[in-house]
Amino acid sequence: MKVHMQARPLTVSASPKGLSGRTLVPGDKSISHRSLMLASLAHGRTKVYGLLEGEDVLRTADAMRALGATITRDGAVWTIDGRGVGELTEPADVLDMGNSGTAARLLSGILSSHRMNSVMTGDASLRSRPMRRVMDPLSKNGSEFLSREGGRLPMAVRGNGQATPLEYRLPVASAQVKSAVLLAGLNAVGRTVVEEPVATRDHTENMLRHFGVDVDVSVLDAGGRRIELTGPVKLTARDVTVPGDPSSSAFPLVAALLVPGSDLLIENVGLNPLRTGLFTTLLEMGADLTIENERVEGGEPVGDLRARHSKLKGVDVPPERAPSMIDEYPVLAVACAFAEGSSRLRGLEELRVKESDRLAATVSLLNVNGAETEVVGDDLIVRGFQNPLGGGSVTTHMDHRLAMSGIVFGLAAQKPVHIDDTAFIETSFPGFVDLMNGLGADIRA
């Protein structure tokens, strides 16, 4: 089913009494995509608890159904009857991955290693994003890819049912590319090896193990990793519990730090150390942020985040931290605009190829609202001030994180902030505006 997003503009005024109470955020997007894909590749029945029911993940569910898995939902519980590795069937129509880079890239790995032909497309944002980063390694396994000029979707794949195992060193820090190569390796004959120069989120490795696959991980000298598995592999169905998404928690969290009078508890947030760069950075800025009730659930560390209004100071974020907070830079930049002193966020080249050019769009979000910024190479410099103005109109370019970052700015600014379109928030954080209003915000159409 193709989803037509109707533009949803909003104006956000400062929250007078702060954000308080306790809340949950929706399930982790990365883990949700992977649970549907791996369960579809497993033998047997998997139940998934806490799946993110956002548009991006629903596109993955539709794609896996089109490839032959049976996926149903009963209340909040999703049930997947898998087909087994190598047993997915040719889709009868084009696979539409909507706005989701993760869905498109991870699925490419699966399609390239099954004996079938398929075509994948996406919305205008996804059709502008680079796919060569997966086509290049995957086409060495005996599959063939044909895309639009510049490696853009739509893309056709002629998969290879007896794929050659790949040995690949990632040229960019990307969990999506790493995962695509590993997923292709499940149905390859022999040893698949991926090396990443900097560690990226390891949810694919963790969940493969959860489904019974031997995954060897060794740490490389400079903090990178080498990941290996031997195919063809058999996955055994096993239930999955999805923690709250740390990337989604970033928005109510930063809002609470910025809006005077706030005291907020966000419960059951995933704390995988390869995802927590934002929390480290906010603590360096002087945030009153504590992690309570740390525990392990469904194989991933989780905890509750308590955030109170804080006087923040500028920060210098090293480039090697980027993979652990790659989706959090727009909202971190908003926090920096409200901090005392300058901040420098280093090594942001990957932001240019997200749902929008997030570096340019973040600069514009800040500038239209009176903040001062500078881009030097791949670094973003934000000069903070205590009373950010607001009053600007934010252009979101089909990018959910820009829309939520604009809302956070408006909640703490002197003058109302207009957001051109908040519809894409549905991709990762359904119910965001209602949730924020329930905590004390007053966000209206």
Ligand X SMILES: C=C(OP(=O)(O)O)C(=O)O
| Binding residue for ligand X, selected from 228, 327, 421, 426, defined by CB under 6 A | 327
x/- site string to ligand X, residues 82 to 101, per CB under 6 A?
------------------xx
For 137, list phi and psi in degrees, rounded to 5: -65, -40
Measured from the CB atom, the residue of 176 and 268 that comes closer to ligand S3P is 176
Query: Which does residue 30 touch among ligand X, ligand S3P, none (CB within 5 to 8 A, set by kind)?
Result: ligand S3P
| Binding residue for ligand X, selected from 401, 404, 413, 423, defined by CB under 6 A | 401
Contact 248, 25 (CB under 8 A): yes
183: Cα within 13 Å, side-chain hemisphere: 35
x/- site string to ligand S3P, residues 185 to 224, per CB under 6 A?
----------------x-----------------------
Active site residue 202: no
Q: Which tokens in the block code for residue 438?
A: 């329930």
| Binding residue for ligand X, selected from 428, 432, 436, 441, defined by CB under 6 A | 428
x/- site string to ligand S3P, residues 314 to 353, per CB under 6 A?
------------xx----------------------x---
- The least distance separating ligand X from the CB of residue 318, rounded to whole angstroms, comes to 21
Distance CA 175, CA 229 (A): 16
Is 34 a known ligand-binding residue?
yes
Is 40 a known ligand-binding residue?
no
Which of 440, 426, 417 shows the shortest CA–CA distance to 11?
417
Distance CA 406, CA 420 (A): 10
x/- site string to ligand S3P, residues 277 to 316, per CB under 6 A?
----------------------------------------
Assess 270 for contact with ligand X (CB under 6 A). no
Assess 354 for contact with ligand X (CB under 6 A). yes
Query: Which does residue 401 touch among ligand S3P, ligand X, none (CB within 5 to 8 A, set by kind)?
Result: ligand X
Residue 12: CB atoms within 10 A of its CB come to 26
Query: Which does residue 201 touch among ligand S3P, ligand X, none (CB within 5 to 8 A, set by kind)?
Result: ligand S3P
Is 214 a known ligand-binding residue?
no
Query: Which does residue 100 touch among ligand X, ligand S3P, none (CB within 5 to 8 A, set by kind)?
Result: ligand X
Which one of the spans 74-82, 118-126, 170-178, 286-294 is the region binding ligand S3P (CB under 6 A)? 170-178
Range 54-73, binding ligand X (CB under 6 A): 56
Distance CA 105, CA 133 (A): 9
| Binding residue for ligand X, selected from 123, 202, 300, 355, defined by CB under 6 A | 355
Q: Out of 202, 304, 327, 399, pick the active-site residue.
A: 327
- The least distance separating ligand X from the CB of residue 314, rounded to whole angstroms, comes to 24
- The least distance separating ligand X from the CB of residue 176, rounded to whole angstroms, comes to 6
- For the chain, the three-class secondary structure string (H helix, E strand, C coil) is CCCCCCCCCEEECCCCCCCEEEEECCECHHHHHHHHHHHHHEECEEEEECCCCCHHHHHHHHHHHHCCCEEEEECCEEEEECCCCCCCCCCCCCEECCCCHHHHHHHHHHHHCCCCEEEEECCCCHHHCCCHHHHHHHHHHCCEEEEECCCEEEEEEECCCCECCCEEECCCCCHHHHHHHHHHHCCECEEEEEEECCCCCCHHHHHHHHCCCCCEEEECCCCCEEEEEEECCCEECCCEECCECHHHHHHHHHHHHHCCCCEEEEEEEECCHHHCHHHHHHHHCCCEEEEEEEEEECCEEEEEEEEECCCCECCEECHHHHHHHHHHHHHHHHHHHCCEEEEEECCCHHHHHCCCCHHHHHHHHHHHCCCEEEEECCEEEEEECCCCCECCEECCCCCHHHHHHHHHHHHHCCECEEECCCHHHHHCCCCHHHHHHHCCCCEEC
For 442, list phi and psi in degrees, rounded to 5: -130, 80
Count of residues binding ligand S3P (CB under 6 A)?
Answer: 10
Assess 28 for contact with ligand S3P (CB under 6 A). no
Measured from the CB atom, the residue of 46 and 428 that comes closer to ligand S3P is 428
- The least distance separating ligand X from the CB of residue 58, rounded to whole angstroms, comes to 13
x/- site string to ligand X, residues 131 to 160, per CB under 6 A?
------------------------------
- Residues classed as catalytic: 327
Residues that bind ligand X (CB under 6 A): 56, 100-102, 327, 354-355, 401, 428
The footprint of ligand S3P (CB under 6 A) covers 30, 102, 174-176, 179, 201, 326-327, 350
Residues making up the annotated binding site for phosphoenolpyruvate are 29, 101, 129, 176, 358, 401
Question: Which residues fall in the annotated binding site for 3-phosphoshikimate?
Answer: 29-30, 34, 174, 176, 327, 354
